[in-house]
Amino acid sequence: MFPLHQRLTRYAPHLVAWLMLSTVGCVLLARLELGQLRDAFETDARISHRLLSQRAVQHDAVLATLGLLQPGGAEAAEQRLSSVYPQILGVQRRDPGTAWPNAALDAAEQASRLARSAALANLDFTAERARYQLVLAAQPASFALLIDVQASVPWNDWSMPVQTSPVRVTLEHAGQAFVVQPGRIGDGGWRFEFHKHLASASQPFDVVAIRQVGWQELPWAFMLLWVVGVACGVVAWSAWQGQRSARRRAEELLRVGQVARLNTLGELAAGMAHELNQPLTAILANTQAAKRLLQDDPPELSTACQAMDQAVAQARRAAEVLARLRRTVEQPSSAQPDEAVDLEAVVRNALDLLEPELRRRDVTATVKAAQSVRVHAERVALEQIVHNLLTNALQALDQVPAGERQLTIHIAVEEGAGVLRVVDSGPGIAPDILPRVFEPFFTTREGGLGLGLSLCETLAVGMGGQLLAQAHAPRGAQFILSLPLAPAP
């Protein structure tokens, strides 16, 4: 398994995407809910304002009617007012030549006379029964209504449940406030406010509605659902991505494998020439000797037989070499033109392809590139060299305990060439076999063909470069590939 920090790095983009999508979704859901709560609040506040305004206007109308009914009709109306309008606790009149019982009513009558409409007096919102008086200066008598504020509220038409509604509604005037509906006002969260004066010039009370929305009122269930939904989406997306890159990796490996087989063909041909040369020479020598021995008089049958046996053995060896060739080669070759290739990109691509191998062996590959190095090379051949060197290093690392496996790839420019070093902490290469590792068919691996490094060297030399093997202190092996730098663009 990968260490925790590596897994975190791998899944960091998914985590960030999940966090961002979750946050954006939750903020939108919260805003939607707050918007709906605000709309509902404003509708309720406007209805309250309209209902209270209607009552205030009614008081103005009652007073105006009393003023108009006199002389004669006002007395009868005064008697019946309280039964029709329960909020009107009483009616007072000041006939010409008499005085109001208190100076406030005098002042209000003065104000009413000047304004030609009713005026307020003796407002007391703090009394046990909140009340105020409304005075209208008229001829011959002036009138004053005593109004009960609580009874002025049209409870039958009220749009909110008074005791349980979270909205607080107050009537405010001249520093006094009458609580129409207590509401629930807590700390924190969001506060909606509504202020509007009653639509009556004589009773310009401010209708104040307040709604405090607490954090607990946010749509947590939907938000949780969204967060879980996004997590599922990200996991599904990540799985799909994983499948896609596994497919891409498999295709790429197939391509590299095919190219490897193509190049191996050339290498194999060279190896075969080398391998077949010796048995063919021996067969030739043995058959010529046998011919001579048979022509002798008397013919040397037993020695001729021995020579023929040796020829047969050599022919068998040659046939074996050819069988190996047939097993290995399946595809024809094709060469690519040289181009400017970025060494680090090739290395990263190869590491990406080998990612499952690295993971399986618990190997972390480190790429150290001081600068970007572009070499003049045949891309596919370079890819194959890098792939082979990394595969060899991984096979070498199999032979040491998991905790000691290190693979480092250095990229640099040295002495005017692009240099790639593949360094592993494996068992290294014994000094006696170091000179032989590039020989065709030289292998120490069970099931190895011994053509990988020899092919890599041929390809490197073919591109004007070279490939060297060295021991690496304190342990392990390093393979150094140098290639000509690509001309500056």
User: Which residues bind to ligand ADP, rule: CB under 6 A?
Assistant: 392-393, 396, 424, 426, 428-429, 437, 442-445, 448-454, 477
- In terms of CB distance, is 314 or 392 closer to ligand ADP? 392
The distance of closest approach from Cβ of residue 437 to ligand ADP in the complex, given in angstroms and rounded to an integer, is: 4
- In terms of CB distance, is 170 or 388 closer to ligand ADP? 388
The distance of closest approach from Cβ of residue 399 to ligand ADP in the complex, given in angstroms and rounded to an integer, is: 8
Angle (CA) 342 396 250, round 5°: 55
| Contact of 441 with 275, CB cutoff 8 Å | yes
Give the count of alpha carbons within 13 A of 198, CB side only: 23
Instruction: Pick left, alpha or beta for residue 334 (phi over 0 → left; psi -120 to 50 → alpha; otherwise beta).
Output: beta
The distance of closest approach from Cβ of residue 7 to ligand ADP in the complex, given in angstroms and rounded to an integer, is: 28
| Contact of 436 with 479, CB cutoff 8 Å | no
Site of tokens 């995407």? 17
- In terms of CB distance, is 265 or 477 closer to ligand ADP? 477
The distance of closest approach from Cβ of residue 452 to ligand ADP in the complex, given in angstroms and rounded to an integer, is: 3
- In terms of CB distance, is 188 or 448 closer to ligand ADP? 448
Retrieve residue 38's tokens.
């605000």
Question: CA 405 to CA 219: how far, in whole Å?
Answer: 52
The distance of closest approach from Cβ of residue 373 to ligand ADP in the complex, given in angstroms and rounded to an integer, is: 22
The distance of closest approach from Cβ of residue 22 to ligand ADP in the complex, given in angstroms and rounded to an integer, is: 47
Crossing angle of helices 4-69 and 74-84, rounded to 10°: 150
The distance of closest approach from Cβ of residue 250 to ligand ADP in the complex, given in angstroms and rounded to an integer, is: 22
Beta bridge partners of 145: 91, 134
- In terms of CB distance, is 190 or 442 closer to ligand ADP? 442
Q: Phi and psi for 378 in degrees, rounded to 5?
A: -85, 115
The distance of closest approach from Cβ of residue 400 to ligand ADP in the complex, given in angstroms and rounded to an integer, is: 10
Question: CA 117 to CA 109: how far, in whole Å?
Answer: 10
Question: CA 323 to CA 329: how far, in whole Å?
Answer: 10
The distance of closest approach from Cβ of residue 382 to ligand ADP in the complex, given in angstroms and rounded to an integer, is: 16
Query: CB neighbours of 97 closer than 8 A, spacing ≥ 6?
Result: none
- In terms of CB distance, is 307 or 394 closer to ligand ADP? 394
- In terms of CB distance, is 358 or 451 closer to ligand ADP? 451
- In terms of CB distance, is 185 or 461 closer to ligand ADP? 461
- In terms of CB distance, is 136 or 394 closer to ligand ADP? 394
Retrieve residue 270's tokens.
């060279």
> Measuring CA to CA, how many Å separate 156 from each of 49, 151, 170, 219, 441?
15, 11, 18, 32, 103
The distance of closest approach from Cβ of residue 333 to ligand ADP in the complex, given in angstroms and rounded to an integer, is: 19
- In terms of CB distance, is 342 or 424 closer to ligand ADP? 424
- In terms of CB distance, is 125 or 438 closer to ligand ADP? 438
- In terms of CB distance, is 267 or 342 closer to ligand ADP? 267
Beta bridge partners of 478: 423, 470
The distance of closest approach from Cβ of residue 455 to ligand ADP in the complex, given in angstroms and rounded to an integer, is: 8
Of 234, 155, 447, residue with least CA distance to 327: 447
